[in-house]
Amino acid sequence: MLSAVFPENIYCMCCGDAIDPSVRSGLCSRCAEKMPWALGNPFHSYMEEFAFDDLLPCVRYGSYARKIMNGLKNGGQNYMAQSVGLMLAERLQLSWDMPDVLAAVPSHKSKLSKRGYNQAELLAGSAARHLKLPYQKGLLVKTRATGSMRMADGRTRRSMLEDSFAITPRFEDAVAGKHVCLVDDVVTTGSTADACARVLKAAGAAKVSVLCFGASSGVRKSRADGGEDEIF
Ligand SMILES: [Zn+2]
């Protein structure tokens, strides 16, 4: 109820400073300027390794994107899904090939019961509403929990994810010949998106593009101050 009196969208999603509520991005001008906006596909030079055909990130995954994603995952802040969903919609509009349908990378039900929602679903629904495109909720299902993969490399993740996703039986005929846009919050190694894309392609999807808020190439470069930057 407090949010009706103090709407959360008057604060920057990234730094928490007060912003003009008419700013639809949900970011203050300082954070919007510092945000590492991404227009390219960070996996472009090794796309043959993946079952998806394109990767469309809004930003390079780093400290700014991490703050926003942590808020979205841990605060239950649905208003953030609206602002981030708008960024995803605008990113997809830059693409030459609009999808037929949007779908979310699913969470396993054990994770869903803990968090109460799947942030990828919130983003996919929000982006679809902004774009006036169909969103097929529940198209894919995660059939087994895979635990934390944070420390696993791409190859290990792939074997952990094998046979972890499936098409919900009632949608089995829904993707044949379609261009499906798979939405996730963050793409790091691409293993999850790849596993989902394999399932969609096996069901006859003509094209699978992946739309996400943050993406990293997995390639890192050491900075002079001892930190590391993701490089595309
Ligand atoms: Zn800010």
Residue 5 has pLDDT above 90, yes or no: no
Instruction: Give the residue ranges of DSSP H helices in the chain.
Output: 2-5, 29-34, 63-74, 78-93, 109-115, 119-131, 154-161, 191-202
Ligand 1 centroid to residue 162 C-alpha, Å? 39
- Using only C-alpha atoms, the chain has a radius of gyration, in whole angstroms, of 17
Give CA–CA dist 29/19, Å, rounded: 8
pLDDT digits (tens, 9 = 90+) for 169-208: 999 888 999 999 999 999 988 999 999 999 999 999 999 9
Residue 232 has pLDDT above 70, yes or no: no
pLDDT at 231: 46
pTM equals 0.87
pLDDT at 136: 97
Instruction: List C-alpha distances in Å: 189 to 55, 79, 216, 227.
Output: 12, 28, 7, 20
Ligand 1 centroid to residue 17 C-alpha, Å? 6
Ligand 1 centroid to residue 16 C-alpha, Å? 6
List beta partners, residue 183: 104, 211
Ligand 1 centroid to residue 80 C-alpha, Å? 13
pLDDT at 88: 96
187's tokens: 């793409």
Task: Tell me if residue 188 falls in helix, strand or coil.
Answer: coil
Domain with CATH 3.40.50.2020 in the chain: 36-230
Domain 36-230 has CATH 3.40.50.2020: yes
